[in-house]
């Protein structure tokens, strides 16, 4: 299902009991990352959740080795020339223990491929989600969710006690 970028607000959404519901405007992020909006651009949502965390993603391979990707929701931005750029909201399990206050948690990253350049960034408010929280991520158009995925907390003894106190 494709949508015209000019016909409304295109978003990446996430929600957990800790963060509440948050929304990222895809057009604003695309412009911030160096993309150029043209007339008649289309966008198409997709998701990738393979069922088990994995080490590298298609959009960046320079993540900390202790981060395991659980999956992502992606908007592909299609220019009239046929060129495709991508912006993804990716979910990583951070089991590094680098911050005792956070403990094991999920990290949200904005990963992108724009004009052949790929990378990731931390421009996401409240991007650290306790591993004990369920997490919902999705793609929206004009306030309506068109793809949604709920990630339950992993079932582990370590996770059973809930998030650590700050």
pLDDT at 55: 63
SS3 141: strand
How many residues are listed for the chain in this entry? 166
pLDDT of 157 higher than 60: no
- HSE on the CB side for 37, CA within 13 Å? 12
Beta strand 10-16 pairing with 117-121: unpaired
Distance, in Å, from the CA atom of 123 to the CA atom of 121, rounded to the nearest integer, reads 6
83-141 residue pLDDT tens: 999 999 989 888 877 778 888 889 898 989 998 887 777 778 888 899 999 999 999 99
pLDDT at 159: 44
Distance, in Å, from the CA atom of 19 to the CA atom of 107, rounded to the nearest integer, reads 12
pLDDT at 76: 96
pLDDT at 56: 59
**What's the pLDDT band for 165 if we cut at 50, 70, 90?**
very low
9-64 residue pLDDT tens: 999 999 999 999 999 999 999 999 999 999 999 999 999 877 666 665 555 555 66
**Mean pLDDT, residues 73-85 taken together:** 96
Report the predicted TM-score, pTM, of the whole model to 2 decimal places.
Answer: 0.83
Lowest mean pLDDT among 1-5, 34-38, 39-43, 67-71: 67-71
pLDDT at 163: 43
For 67, phi and psi rounded to 5 degrees?
A: -95, 130
pLDDT at 70: 86
């Amino acid at each position: 299902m494709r949508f015209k970028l000019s016909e409304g607000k295109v978003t990446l959404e996430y929600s957990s009991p800790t963060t509440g519901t948050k929304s990222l405007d895809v057009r604003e992020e695309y412009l911030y990352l160096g993309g150029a909006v043209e007339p008649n651009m289309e966008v198409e949502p997709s998701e990738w959740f393979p069922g088990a965390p994995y080490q590298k993603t298609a959009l960046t391979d320079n993540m900390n080795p202790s981060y395991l990707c659980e999956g992502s929701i992606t908007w592909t931005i299609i220019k009239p020339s046929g060129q495709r750029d991508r912006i993804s909201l990716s979910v990583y399990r951070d089991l590094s223990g680098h911050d005792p206050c956070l403990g094991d948690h999920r990290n949200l990253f904005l990963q992108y491929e724009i004009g052949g350049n790929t990378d990731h960034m931390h421009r996401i408010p409240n991007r650290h989600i306790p591993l004990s929280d369920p997490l919902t991520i999705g793609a929206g158009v004009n306030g309506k969710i068109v793809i949604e995925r709920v990630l339950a907390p992993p079932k582990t003894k370590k996770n059973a006690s809930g998030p650590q106190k700050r």
